[in-house]
Amino acid sequence: LLEELRAAQEEHARAIAAANEVRDTLDRARKEYEDARAAEKASEDELARAAEGLARGLQTLDVNSNTSDVQSPVPQIVDSLVECHANIGCYQCYLFLDSHRDEEKMEDSAQAFDVAQLGVRVQFPRVELTYRPSSSGDEEGVVWSTEIERNVDVSQCVVEEKEDHWYLRLPIRPSDKQPLGGFSSFTQVSPVELRPESYDSVCCRGCSALLLGGEGSAPIEKVLPLPSANWMDMFDFWGAGIGAFEHIPRDDIHAQRLRVLVGESYVLVHGSDLVAEATVANHEDEAAVAPGDNAKEEREWMPLACAACSERVGLCSVEQPDTEEQNIFGKYTIDSILSAKLLEMADSDGIFRFVLTSWETMIKQKEASKFRRVLKVLYGPRQPTPAIPGLLPSHEVSLPPAMCLAISQRLASSSELLPPSLRAFNRMNVGYLFA
């Protein structure tokens, strides 16, 4: 039994030794596997870095290539402004790329394509700015397009690259140029405005309170346009009004009951035709209220406000309380009122001291469907000495403070439509009054 026990112990010891040997072998195999996996991972990383470096090299080679097979990117116009100048007979287009809005992209954009490859194609009324890549076999791509009202001469069209925009000049054909009179007017009186039924209901723009017309009121019988400011001077000079026009007053024209007299920027009605208590006199805003431009006229008018919302709707006469002559509701925009006033004064009184760069101008923005009439002006803060030396003294136009502030804000906003390099001229700002 002892011998059998001893033999069993020896067998057990040999089994333990064999197991330890197998464990050591397994540990060595595991370590070898881990080392091999780490080496494989390092090889994969090195291969990925090599592939990335190769891709960058190929991309650089592609960008720097000057062969004819490499195509320049088509420029993208992100915004535009078109000016139509009837007095000089051309369209002036200001085109803005994305790079013009971002200085960092400016230099890259300049190297991406050649402006000389831009061309103009006209299929009236549509005008297209095209871009043909360097390869002559490729088709032209349309970069920008718009619609115009007068045909242009393609052979005289010019495209120029400026620092902060592209400039496109489209001269109008001589046969399509509009004959211009001695002076322009921003009158907006249409045949519809001369119909009595158009005044069945006139409301406050601020709160829609009824000011004129409505149920129970006598209808307007007649609507007449007012003559121009210098009509009587022409009457006296030519004597053309004798006979047929003798009934027209030679002095002031006053309001008449059940009639509406339509002027350039206002409507004249009789006070008794207004809705009772719909308007109130505003004594707090008596400064700068006159439709005329002398002290006498300034004393004859008083601001008129809506009784419901206190918004200014016009002027009421002080000198003729029996007729209560009134200048009702700002039907047109502030811009058009000021534009009509400036041009009316220049035409009737020979006052040409307003700084006007063009009086026959229309503009169209990128998303607009039609042109808008504007007055392009130079403006700036009031200064003791004129910004432009040599000009005649300026003529003062009296306006309410609120209107002056609104015009100032609208002019500043309109200047943003132009390229930064064109927003100033002779130490003054360039802007638009929308008529």
Q: What is the pLDDT of residue 239?
A: 54
Tell me, rounded to whole angstroms, the distance of Cα 197 from its chain centroid.
34
CATH number of the CATH domain containing 138: 2.60.40.790
Please, which residues have CB within 8 angstroms of residue 315's CB and are 6 or more apart in sequence? 289, 291, 301, 302, 303, 304, 326, 327
Residues 269 and 171 in one domain: no
307 within a domain of the structure (yes/no): yes
How far apart, in whole angstroms, are the C-alpha atoms of residue 155 and residue 111? 27
Q: What is the CATH number of the domain that holds 203?
A: 2.170.150
CB 329 within 8 A of CB 267: yes
Q: Are residues 276 and 317 in the same domain?
A: yes
- Alpha-carbon gap, residue 19 to 420, rounded angstroms: 88
Contact present, 267 and 328 (Cβ < 8 Å): yes
Residues 234, 239: Cα–Cα separation, whole Å: 8
Same domain, 289 and 402: no
Answer yes or no: do 226 and 345 share one domain.
Answer: no
Per-residue pLDDT tens for 78-92?
999 999 988 788 999
Residues whose CB falls within 8 Å of the CB of residue 80, separated by 6 or more in sequence, listed in order: 93, 94, 95, 96, 144, 146, 365, 366
Q: What is the pTM (predicted TM-score) of this model?
A: 0.53
In sequence order, the 6+-apart residues with CB closer than 8 A to the CB of 383 are none
256 and 376 belong to one structural domain: no
Quote the CA–CA distance of 374 and 169 in Å, as a whole number: 19
**Among 339, 340, 363, 343, which Cα is nearest to 353's?**
343
Domain enclosing residue 398, as ranges: 336-434
Q: Which DSSP helix (H) or strand (E) runs through 397?
A: none
pLDDT of residue 3: 84
Asked if 260 contacts 223 with a C-beta cutoff of 8 angstroms, the reply is: yes
Residue 129 has pLDDT above 70, yes or no: yes
Domain co-membership, 205 together with 302:
yes
Which of the pair, 285 or 260, is modelled with greater confidence? 260
- Asked if residue 183 is part of any domain, the answer here is no
Q: Which two tokens stand for residue 330?
A: 């700002």
**In sequence order, which residues have a C-beta less than 8 Å from that of residue 306 and are 6 or more positions away?**
204, 206, 207, 209, 211, 278, 279, 280, 312, 313
3-state secondary structure 172-238: ECHHHCCCCCCCCCCCCCCHHHHCHHHHCEEECCCCCCEEEECCCCCCCCEEEECCCCCHHHHHHHH
Q: Which of 331, 354, 376 is the last residue of a domain?
A: 331
Tell me what percent of the residues of the chain surpass a pLDDT of 70.
Answer: 69
Q: What pLDDT sits at residue 73? A: 62
Mean pLDDT for the stretch of residues 400-419: 88
pLDDT computed for residue 224 by the predictor? 87
Q: Are residues 318 and 342 in the same domain?
A: no
Note whether residue 94 is domain-resident.
yes
Q: Does residue 403 share a domain with residue 289?
A: no
Residue with more model confidence, 392 or 274: 274
Same domain, 326 and 202: yes
Could you report the per-residue pLDDT of 11-53, keeping only the tens digit for each? 888 889 888 888 999 999 999 989 888 888 888 888 888 888 8
Q: What is the pLDDT of residue 210?
A: 93
The pLDDT of residue 367 is above 80:
yes
Most confident of 118-132, 218-232, 252-266: 118-132
Instruction: Count up the domains in the chain and report the number.
Output: 4
Query: Does a structural domain hold residue 244?
Result: yes
User: What's the count of helices (H) and strands (E) in the chain, helices before strands?
Assistant: 7, 20
The C-alpha atoms of residue 373 and residue 333 are separated, in whole angstroms, by 12
From 145, 176, 207, the end of a domain falls on 176
Q: How many of the other CB atoms lie within 10 Å of CB of 378?
A: 19
In terms of pLDDT, which residue wins out, 107 or 323? 107
- Alpha-carbon gap, residue 301 to 316, rounded angstroms: 6
User: Rounded mean pLDDT of the chain?
Assistant: 77
- The whole-number pLDDT of residue 291 equals 47
Q: For 61-84, how does the pLDDT look when each residue is reduced to its tens digit (9 = 90+)?
A: 654 554 444 445 667 889 999 999
Cβ proximity of 234 and 228 under 8 Å: no
Residue 291 lies inside a defined structural domain of this protein: yes
Region of 32 (left: φ > 0; alpha: ψ -120 to 50; beta: rest) is alpha
Q: Which residues contact 209 (CB under 8 A, 6 or more apart)?
A: 203, 278, 306, 307, 308, 309
Distance, in Å, from the CA atom of 331 to the CA atom of 314, rounded to the nearest integer, reads: 10
pLDDT confidence tier of residue 297, bands split at 50, 70 and 90: low
Residue percentage of the chain with pLDDT more than 90: 21
What's the CA gap between 211 and 197, in Å, rounded?
15
Pick from 32, 64, 96: which residue ends a domain? 64
Has residue 185 been placed in a domain?
A: no
Shared-domain flag, residues 87 and 120: yes
Secondary structure (3-state) at 69: coil
Do 154 and 50 share a domain, yes or no?
Answer: no
Confidence at 183, pLDDT banded by 50, 70, 90: very low
Evaluate whether residue 221 is within a structural domain: yes
Domain check: are 210 and 283 in the same one?
Answer: yes
Tokens of 175: 């046969």
Is 255 domain-assigned? yes
pLDDT at 267 (0 to 100): 87
